Amino acid sequence: MPRPLIQQPLHDGWRFRAADPRLGDTEQFTTTDGWQTASVPGTVYQDLIASGAIPDPLVGRQEAEVQWVAERDWCYRLDFDLGADALRDRMALVFDGLDTFARVWLDGQPLAESDNMFVPLRVDITDRLPHAGPSRHTLWIRFDSALRRGRDLEAHHGARPLWNGDSSRLHVRKAPYHYGWDWGPTLLTCGPWKAVHLEAADLRIAELASPVTLSGDWTHARVDLHTRLGGDPSNNVALEHALFDPAGTLVATHHSRATAQHTASLSVDTPQLWWPAGHGAQPLYILHTRLLRADGTVIAAQQRSLGLRRLRLVQAPVAGEAGRSFVFEVNGRELFCGGANWIPDDNLLNRITPARYRERVQQAVDANLVMLRVWGGGIYEDEAFYDACDALGVLVWQDFVFACGLYPAHPAFVASVEAEARAAITRLRHRASLAIWCGNNEDYTLAETVGALGSAPGSDPTRFEARVLYEQVLPTLCHALDPGRPYWPGSPYTPPASGTGQPRLSQDATAGDRHSWEVWHQLMLPYQRYAEVGARFVSEFGMQSHPSMAVLDKAIPAEERFPGSRTLQWHNKASSPVGMDGHRRLAVYRADTLRHPDTLAAEVYATQFVQAEAMRHAYEAFRRRWQTPGARACGGALVWQLNDCWPVTSWAIIDSDGRPKPAWYTIRRAMAPLACAVRRGDAGVSAWAVNGTDAVLTVQARWQLLAIDGAPIDDTTPADVSLAANAVTPLTPPPAWFADQARPLIARLTLTGATQAAQAHAWPEPFRWHRFPDPQVQVVAEPGSDFVQVSASRPAKGVWLEAPDGRFEDNFLDLLPGEVRRLRVSGSVHGILASCLNTWQDAP
């Protein structure tokens, strides 16, 4: 008679110490010296900081003082008790994640080894335990230095080209960003970074697949269930699947005798469809799967959330242009995927709580973003991240963990990657939010750069061995384990031309996805030229800025809080072949746009101003290319990057304290369901509106033209304009806008509909050429409410509001004379400071 499964967490009572190179394996764990309390799940850096053994590496330049940690081996030890009632036919130790080179002993005897941070380790210990009675046991884990082991592998297999981090990382299946990146510190963690538990089971649910199929008319859904059991099911064990709708009502069930492999289907009539944020609701059905004895006793159970939706990647001709589109379609509706790239939200991953994941994903939704790309230099994220994306309606572009390198492909490496990919696919394939699997980040681009891809003289494609991973191993696994989801070989990637086997240049703008780094990297184009570097899908682009002063006050010593300080530069890891040069590029873009700041606070505002304006230009230009059905010249734009993992000057639009930067607000406006944009200057005059809804909108358009001191030049009577559904509509500005285009004037377009409105401005640029009068910005708190009123007597550009304990529902405002903006404040309204371009540049 099978007994209920028991999972006993093994998280309390762990201790750790640095390995002593003079001692053997047994002596490392039996010595009484040097043991400290360990957090499990956790890593050695986390515990060393907590104990005060090392300084916080995220403060000042203390990162350099803790690099010795990565050069040492570390030992973990746990004594645990096993009760007699916990014994079952099969007993296993389960490690959900060991980072990275780990050897495990049970009761002093070798048990298992692991060399991949992303592969769970499950070890049968049935024969290691007594058959009856309570018992006490000891668990040892030794983590070898990933830096040392990686360099040993590199010495054996050869060094390979890469961008970012120590070159040995290419031989190690560990989060690449741990080795340092152009936005993050070098902290090579180790430890049991995921849950550890003892599992006692006569029978268990080893694997469950639950793909969803929708009928062509959306009136019927089918959930196919493929179950694999661990153990030997007896005749008196039943398998039960029960599907509950979002209100908790049972809508479908299946009950049958349990077998080792089992297939069933559940049907749902009139399904509630799952939609991306802003396009509909996110109803989640709950699937309960249970193994039951004849007397009703539950032997084992699983529960998961399912969103019923259909997703396609559409690559179709683009009217009037070469190439093919790259558009995500959900439930028959094409979506412009405005979004962002996601990096791990901390270097010490166990500090990220489910609430913090939820907050970050909510911030993406609040910015009108519908896609996050889990970048290939990080990790396969925690369940809490995907829970938040499922619940809030954010599509996930999921990279496999390969980034910026020519990886090896020898048999042992391929076998490890296969195990890793299998674990990731089977864990995530039921997610409604999961939109696409992608083979790598920028490996094709690097291969082109070093002559390992292409037909140019001297190129040697045999050096790009890892193509077998991206074009054979990974797509084969995805097709077998998750056949209904798109797979894409890399980002960026352009499919081979017809009749060839060679990918075209990864920067091809007419097909596939593209990383548009001509702004900031490469040519360092002015951000006003983002329209020239668009693509069918722009999966990376960005502009750096400093984090908030609140972040810098905590991370930079007081004596170093000035523009250009050594410590401030330390917290900017951006680099190029000439070395660390992020501060230089940042200075160029700031100097091209604004006059010179004389304090750190002024420099923070200046860099954030430039980033905000750059992202406005980018999103407006890329979304403009959404155009109309059949002519989707650009299907999405993902800013690099949404978030930060430490206090840093980076491309993030939300800093490491979770504070949105001004760019977050400009992106939110550019990605709103109703948005508009205007251009006026030497390059010409143009305007357009975007209707992201599925209905035609009628709005009133008002066109205003003012001198920089606020004197009115032209102001039209609002007139009706019809905006096509889910499309871009070109607009024609009034004649006054075309007169004397070199004259520095402020142009504004306002669109007002029945339930929504949009505004766009064109100010004379570069801003440093002009003296903008003091706008006399006023911020007045409404008595007895959580609102403030913001106004200006003259045109005000980039009004940025800050409060010690308050967040504003809108920010980084452009105001015209007499205009009053009423804003809700979350938190306290006390101590509000207002900055803007006019006063920042010390206009008289």
Catalytic sites, residue numbers: 442
Question: Three-state SS for 586?
Answer: helix
∠ CA 681-686-691, rounded to 5°: 140
- Cis upstream peptide for 766 (omega within 30°): yes
Extract the tokens encoding 230.
């661990």
- Please choose, from the candidates 154, 289, 149, the residue with its C-alpha nearest in 3D space to the C-alpha of residue 229: 289
Beta strands in 581-707 (DSSP E): 636-639, 674-681, 684-691, 697-707
Per DSSP bridges, beta strands 538-540 and 514-515 are parallel
Question: Three-state SS for 754?
Answer: coil
Distance CA 324, CA 633 (A): 8
Phi, psi of 566 (to 5 degrees): -60, -40
* Token pair 């990686």: residue: 150
Q: Hey, what amino acid is at 196? A: V
Q: Hey, which residues does 491 pair with through a beta bridge?
A: 441
Distance CA 121, CA 104 (A): 10
Distance CA 656, CA 648 (A): 8
Task: Provide long-range contacts, Cβ within 8 A and 24+ apart, for 493-498.
Answer: 493/439, 493/444
Beta-carbon neighbour count of residue 34 at 10 Å?
Answer: 12
Label residue 426 exposed, middle or buried (CB < 10 Å: 0-12, 13-18, 19+): middle
C-alpha dihedral over 413, 419, 420, 425, to 10 degrees?
140
Distance CA 16, CA 621 (A): 53
Beta-carbon neighbour count of residue 711 at 10 Å?
Answer: 11
* Token pair 């790009």: residue: 464
Extract the tokens encoding 219.
């009136």
* Token pair 């409410």: residue: 785
What sign for the dihedral angle of Cα 377, 477, 407, 466?
Answer: negative
